Amino acid sequence: MNRTTLKKLVPFLIIALLILHQDFWWWDSINPLIFGFMPIGLAYHAGISIAAAFVWWLATKSWWTEEMEVSDAEAAARRQQRGEL
């Protein structure tokens, strides 16, 4: 998948995460116990945490631009321009 497509896809993935977070379908369930001890309501939300890390990794890959950086020289120049230095 190229970067432009990924850039468009990431907002939908974030919205999907927010919707999936409201897991009303597991509200009254203890079973299945994942690994034999973890109630599904807890295991599912641990999965949401992992999915969040993945989606935000995609975000840093696709939305990142070098324009976000500010060099020391640029910062000093801007402040000097305004007479702050």
Partner 1 sequence: MIAMWIIIGYLVVLLGLGFASNRVFRGTTVDYFLASRGIGPFMLLMSLFGTTMTAFAVVGSSGEASQRGIGVYGLMASSSAIVHALCFFFVGMKLWSLGKRHGYLTQIEFFRDRFDSERIGLVLFPIFVMMLIPYLITGVLGLGACITGATRGAFPNAFPSENLALHGAVPAWLSQGIIVGVVLIYVFAGGVRGTMWVNTFQNALFMTLGIVTMFVIADRLGGFDNATRMVRENKPSLLKRTVDEKDLARYNTALEIHETKLEAWNEKKIGPPPKHPSKPGIGQLEFLTYLLIPLSVATFPHLFQYYLTAKSAKSFKLSVVGHPLCIMVTWLPCVLLGVWATSAMVDGKPIVPPGVDPNATLAVAVKNLTGPVLGGLMAASILATNSLDAQFLVMGNMFTNDIVVRFMGKDRFTDRQLVGIARAFVVGVVVVTYFISLTEPRAVFRLGVWCFAGFAALAPLTFAALYWKRCTKWGAYASILAAGISWFALFYDSGYGAAEGYLVAGMNPVAPIVFTSTAALILVSLLSRPPRPETLQRFFAR
Q: Whole-number minimum distance, CB 4 to partner 1, in Å?
A: 19
25 counts as binding partner 1 under rule CB under 8 A: no
User: Whole-angstrom Cα distance, residue 83 to residue 19?
Assistant: 49
Three-class HEC string of 9-72: HHHHHHHHHHHHHCCHHHCCCCCCCECCCECHHHHHHHHHHHHHHHHHHHHHHHCCCHHHCCCH
Q: Whole-number minimum distance, CB 12 to partner 1, in Å?
A: 14
32 counts as binding partner 1 under rule CB under 8 A: no
Answer for which of 22, 25, 73, 83 binds partner 1 (CB under 8 A) is 22
Q: Whole-number minimum distance, CB 61 to partner 1, in Å?
A: 9
62 counts as binding partner 1 under rule CB under 8 A: no
Q: Identify the bridge partners of residue 53 per DSSP, sorted by sequence position.
A: none
28 counts as binding partner 1 under rule CB under 8 A: yes
Q: What are the residues whose beta carbons fall under 8 Å from the beta carbon of 9, sequence distance 6 or more?
A: 1, 58, 62
Binding residues (CB under 8 A) for partner 1: these are: 14, 17-18, 21-24, 26-30, 33, 35-39, 41-42, 45-46, 48-50, 52-53, 56-57, 59-60, 63-64, 67-70, 74-75, 78-79, 84
